[in-house]
Amino acid sequence: MDIQPSRQSDDTDLRRAYVHLAEAQKLSQTGSYTWDFDRGELLWSDELCRIFEFDPATNITTDLVEQYVHPADLTAWRATVEGAAAGANVDLPYRIVTASGVLKYLHAVGTRIEHASERPVIIGAVQDVTERKVAEEALNKARADLAHVARVATLSALTASIAHEVNQPLTSLVTNASTCVRMLAADPPNLDLAQITAQRTIRDANRASEVISRLRAMFVRKEPVAEAVDLNEAAAEVLALSASELRSARIDVHVDFAQGLPNIRGDRIQLQQVILNLVLNARDAMLAIEGRPRTLWIATARGEWGQVLLSVRDAGSGIAPENLDRLFETFYTTKSDGMGIGLSISQSIIQAHEGRLWAAANADGPGAIFSFSIPCDVAGSTETVSKDA
């Protein structure tokens, strides 16, 4: 038994520990680094060099590393590096494109160590999480495909039931009109039956239109709950609910809520459905955007006549002028997976609140802006106060 280990066994232990560490780094695809930012020295483990496809003999600097950071993540990366130099911890998911053109998803962590050497240094690790990311994206795609299938199934069930409901009155309408024409053409004409069948065609046409009204009522409750709604608060809740959806689509949200907005009177849940619909539409419009920021602006304001306005602006590809008029038609969609129901229902909801929903192209830059205005109801807010009292 070695009570006093010899220098030789010290070296062996150290070598063994080093081999263990290198093996562990390789297996976990995690490299480590030590960054002496005062001296601008970066020490990288072999595994980290392998991840970045650097020769281990390379003189590594932040300027060199920066060249391989994905352009879309560069701002966040630089901010993290600056923050770390000022003493903040490192915790950054980002992407790199290696010299051979491979896209890798990395996750860097690091912490400042004050007393390991004469100057504070940052010691940290970078894990290559590409495989997990790819699996996550495959899972997300599978989920999206499933949702698409579900939507298509809903749509086909919906069209079948609409067709059935509308075909019934149309059948008697066409039959009555045919009989009417025959009665008029008879010799002598049978004016009594002609009149009866003509009246029936009017009734049948009204029945067909009632079917459509019933269908709308299925989507929009006929009598919305009337309560005082703080639109800023309602919109903030929607943003909180959709935060992870927006983050995973790498969308920056800019909020500009007007202070001191009067309450509006309406159905909070329905209005939130409209806001959510506009927010998700804006997200969808920007999914294919590369090379410029995916920014979503949401703003509230007080209108000229005391009404309250909310608008959602995206930096997507915008709306072709010829499509502007059709946007709010039921079943009109420009999306491969859309049902074309969202905006039509949104419009029904806003109209039920005596408001207006409209779309326009962005004045300064690409994208579209969807806005609605609702008259604010002072009586409504007073009523709520008295109800609470």
Span interacting with other proteins, options 101-109, 168-176, 278-286, 363-371, rule CB under 8 A: 168-176
Pick from 173, 286, 341, 350: which binds other proteins (CB under 8 A)? Answer: 173
**Cα separations (Å) of 304 from 8, 24, 258, 375?**
86, 66, 14, 11
202 is a site residue for other proteins (CB under 8 A): no
Span interacting with other proteins, options 120-128, 177-185, 245-253, 348-356, rule CB under 8 A: 177-185
200 is a site residue for other proteins (CB under 8 A): yes
| Residue with tokens 């920066």, as numbered in its chain | 66
**Cα separations (Å) of 192 from 45, 133, 301?**
99, 76, 62
174 is a site residue for other proteins (CB under 8 A): yes
Are 303 and 352 within 8 A, CB to CB? no
| Residue with tokens 């699996």, as numbered in its chain | 135
184 is a site residue for other proteins (CB under 8 A): no
User: Quick one: DSSP state of residue 287?
Assistant: T
Are 58 and 42 within 8 A, CB to CB? no
170 is a site residue for other proteins (CB under 8 A): yes
Pick from 9, 61, 98, 168: which binds other proteins (CB under 8 A)? Answer: 168
Closest approach of Cβ 198 to other proteins, in Å?
A: 12
320 is a site residue for other proteins (CB under 8 A): no
Binding string to other proteins for residues 91 to 130, with x set by CB under 8 A, is what?
Answer: ----------------------------------------
Helices 130-185 and 191-219, axial angle in degrees (round to 10) = 170
Closest approach of Cβ 369 to other proteins, in Å?
A: 39
Concatenating the DSSP letter of every residue in 325-362 gives TTTTSTT--SSTT--S-HHHHHHHHHHHTT-EEEEEE-
User: Quick one: DSSP state of residue 288?
Assistant: T
Span interacting with other proteins, options 40-48, 130-138, 171-179, 279-287, rule CB under 8 A: 171-179
80 is a site residue for other proteins (CB under 8 A): no
172 is a site residue for other proteins (CB under 8 A): yes
148 is a site residue for other proteins (CB under 8 A): no
Q: Is 56 left (phi over 0), alpha (psi -120 to 50) or beta?
A: alpha
What residue ranges bind other proteins (CB under 8 A)?
160, 163-164, 167-176, 178-179, 182-183, 186, 193, 197, 200, 204, 207
